[in-house]
């Protein structure tokens, strides 16, 4: 069986090399480096999946129960979402803006304890699969929206040329991709909150306790709700929508990393 630690280290190396390739592609306009970057992310996902599978086998459960396990699964969700969006929309510059977010979460995971501990009673529920797995893909979709929105915000700072025309979508297309990613992430985030409430009632006898994690999850949900509401009712697009997408992902990062690091609550184990 593969060693989970070494598989994860290889994953970090591959993701890091991918980011270097994407930046080389973007700065020096060499298309072959974008192909290398895309390939490296895909191979990285293979080793990442091996690491997660090995972890699951060693723990005799899904690797979704603590800081390290969720962070590495979060990074995996970003990588898979990125490959999906890159394949669907076929613009090579996406990796330049998404791989740094992927590495941010992956290296955060690397800083956490890898110790495997028995599940605490509150986590011994089938709801953990629905609640945490939807969170992983929700956060992954929001990361894509953030990367695309950053691309939108800086696109007009570059001189329009053949490279931008071939490898970066128009402002309208970038705005649409961000919107679709947020819509997808929002649906899954709603499932996260609902499933978490049901799980909380079964574990602690209350659907909602204003725990810091619950509170910040709700704040994040409100941010994206406002984005979708003003977009659908007032046609809010362009730079304001892009800044909102970036703000939403910052809220996501604080909900996961900031709350777990700075605040104490029922979710402190996660």
Tokens of 94: 């996406």
Q: What does the alpha-carbon distance between residue 54 and residue 241 come to, in Å, rounded to a whole number?
A: 40
Residue 269 has pLDDT above 60, yes or no: no
Chain position carrying tokens 């956060």: 139
Which range among 125-129, 202-206, 264-268 shows the weakest confidence by mean pLDDT? 264-268
Per-residue b/e over 171-196, b at no fewer than 16 CB within 10 Å? beebbebbbbbbbbbbebbebbbebb
Whether 165 is in a domain gets the answer yes
**Contact between residue 25 and residue 31 where contact means Cβ atoms under 8 Å apart:** yes
Structural domain of 263: 119-270
* CB neighbour list of residue 120: distance below 8 Å, 6 or more residues apart: 269
Whether 6 is in a domain gets the answer no
Whether 22 is in a domain gets the answer no
Which run of H or E residues covers position 116?
none
Composition of the chain by helix, strand, coil, percent to 5: 80, 0, 20
Quick one: pLDDT at residue 259? 77
Whether 96 is in a domain gets the answer no
Q: What does the alpha-carbon distance between residue 160 and residue 157 come to, in Å, rounded to a whole number?
A: 9
Quick one: pLDDT at residue 6? 93
**Contact between residue 186 and residue 248 where contact means Cβ atoms under 8 Å apart:** no
* CB neighbour list of residue 104: distance below 8 Å, 6 or more residues apart: none
Q: What does the alpha-carbon distance between residue 88 and residue 96 come to, in Å, rounded to a whole number?
A: 17
Whether 160 is in a domain gets the answer yes
Q: Residue 240 phi/psi, 5° resolution?
A: -60, -40
Q: Residue 156: which pLDDT band, with cuts at 50, 70 and 90?
A: confident
**Contact between residue 210 and residue 187 where contact means Cβ atoms under 8 Å apart:** no
Tokens of 119: 């599940």
**Contact between residue 128 and residue 62 where contact means Cβ atoms under 8 Å apart:** yes
Whether 161 is in a domain gets the answer yes
The mean pLDDT of 169-181, rounded to a whole number, is 92
pTM (whole model) above 0.85: yes
Quick one: pLDDT at residue 119? 72
Q: What does the alpha-carbon distance between residue 209 and residue 129 come to, in Å, rounded to a whole number?
A: 21
Tokens of 140: 């992954």
Which run of H or E residues covers position 197?
helix 171-204
Which range among 11-15, 148-152, 189-193, 264-268 shows the weakest confidence by mean pLDDT? 264-268
Chain position carrying tokens 């649906």: 187
Number of domains in the chain: 1
Residue 266 has pLDDT above 60, yes or no: no
Residue 197 has pLDDT above 90, yes or no: no
Which range among 24-33, 133-142, 196-205, 255-264 shows the weakest confidence by mean pLDDT? 255-264
Whether 28 is in a domain gets the answer no
Q: What does the alpha-carbon distance between residue 114 and residue 49 come to, in Å, rounded to a whole number?
A: 16
* Average pLDDT over all residues of the chain: 88
Quick one: pLDDT at residue 263? 58
> Above pLDDT 70, what percent of the chain?
94
Quick one: pLDDT at residue 97? 95
Whether 129 is in a domain gets the answer yes
């Amino acid at each position: 069986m593969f060693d989970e630690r070494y598989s994860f280290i290889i994953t970090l190396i591959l993701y890091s090399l991918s980011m270097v390739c994407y930046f080389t592609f973007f700065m020096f306009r060499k298309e072959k480096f974008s192909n290398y970057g895309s390939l490296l992310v895909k191979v990285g996902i293979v080793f990442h999946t091996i690491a997660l599978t090995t972890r699951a086998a060693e723990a005799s459960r899904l690797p979704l129960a603590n800081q390290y396990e969720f962070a590495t699964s979060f990074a995996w969700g970003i990588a898979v979402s990125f490959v999906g969006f890159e394949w669907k929309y076929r613009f090579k510059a996406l990796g330049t803006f998404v791989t740094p977010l992927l590495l941010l979460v992956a290296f955060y995971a690397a800083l956490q304890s890898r110790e495997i501990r028995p599940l605490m009673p509150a986590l011994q529920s089938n709801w953990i699969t629905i609640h945490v797995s939807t969170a992983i893909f929700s956060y992954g979709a929001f990361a894509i929206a953030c990367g695309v929105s950053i691309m939108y915000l800086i696109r007009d700072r570059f001189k329009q040329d053949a490279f931008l025309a071939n490898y970066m979508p128009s402002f309208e297309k970038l705005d649409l991709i961000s919107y679709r990613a947020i819509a997808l992430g929002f649906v899954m985030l709603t499932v996260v909150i609902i499933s978490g409430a049901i799980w909380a009632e079964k574990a602690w006898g209350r659907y909602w306790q204003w725990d810091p994690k619950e509170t910040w999850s709700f704040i994040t949900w409100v941010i994206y709700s406002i984005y979708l509401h003003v977009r659908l009712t007032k046609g809010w697009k362009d730079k304001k929508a892009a800044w909102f997408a970036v703000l939403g992902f910052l809220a996501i990062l604080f909900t996961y990393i900031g709350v777990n690091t700075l605040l104490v609550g029922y979710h402190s184990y996660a």
